[in-house]
Amino acid sequence: LVPIFLLALFAGNGHDTTGRVAAFVIFAVAVITDRLDGALARTYGMVTEFGKLADPIADKTLIGAALIGLSMLADLPWWVTVLILVREVGVTLLRFAVLRRGVIPASWGGKLKTLVQAVAIGLFVLPLSGSWLVAASVVMATAVVLTVITGIDYVASAISEVRWTAR
């Protein structure tokens, strides 16, 4: 869905209202189906080590494409996009680095961060103005704070995992 999302986002040089609403719907469907997929896997005991790694990568692909697109359209400052993407790539690489010692599962903080990022990005994708845009900015600021905090938490968890398994 990522390429279709980007086509809709960039329709009319990013200023086509219908395109932006379509991009929002595509983004929302992708986020919701991702959540349902994870819930079904947990409910039916189909959680796999591969899924624990692949699902966050799929999340990051959608989130990353949306952030880069919004920054390219000058709707979102590049520093926000860079900060979030550096954290996301860093945590993903960290997970791979400690994989042989054990998987670091997604934390509740990480899940909350992903939810708040998705809401913030969804709001920025919509053609909002005025107080709605201010609200979107507040949600995005919250997402940035959660991104930093959970990034630090994942680093601490990885260090703890490495120390624990080294014994």
Domain boundaries of the chain, sorted by first residue: 2-165
Per-residue confidence (pLDDT) for residue 65, from 0 to 100: 98
What number of CA atoms fall less than 13 Å from residue 142's CA on the CB side? 17
CA dist 99 to 52, 95, 125, Å? 11, 6, 35
- pTM score of the predicted model: 0.87
Q: What is the pLDDT of residues 84-136, one digit of tens each?
A: 999 999 988 887 777 776 666 678 898 899 999 999 999 999 999 999 999 99
Enumerate long-range contacts of 150-154, CB under 8 Å, 24 or more apart: 150/87, 150/107, 150/109, 150/110, 150/112, 150/113, 151/87, 151/90, 151/91, 153/107, 153/109, 153/110, 154/91, 154/94, 154/95, 154/104, 154/107, 154/110
Per-residue confidence (pLDDT) for residue 85, from 0 to 100: 97
| CATH number, domain 2-165 | 1.20.120
Q: What is the pLDDT of residues 5-58, one digit of tens each?
A: 999 999 999 999 999 999 999 999 999 998 888 888 888 988 887 877 677 778
DSSP assignments along the chain, one per residue:
-HHHHHHHHTGGGGT-HHHHHHHHHHHHHHHHHHHHHHHHHHHTT---HHHHHHHHHHHHHHHHHHHHHHHHTTSS-HHHHHHHHHHHHHHHHHHHHTGGG---PPPHHHHHHHHHHHHHHHHHHS---THHHHHHHHHHHHHHHHHHHHHHHHHHHHHHHHHHHT-
Q: What is the pLDDT of residues 55-87, one digit of tens each?
A: 777 888 999 999 999 999 999 999 999 999 999
Q: What is the pLDDT of residues 127-162, one digit of tens each?
A: 999 999 999 999 999 999 999 999 999 888 878 777
Positive or negative torsion for Cα 48, 46, 4, 113:
negative
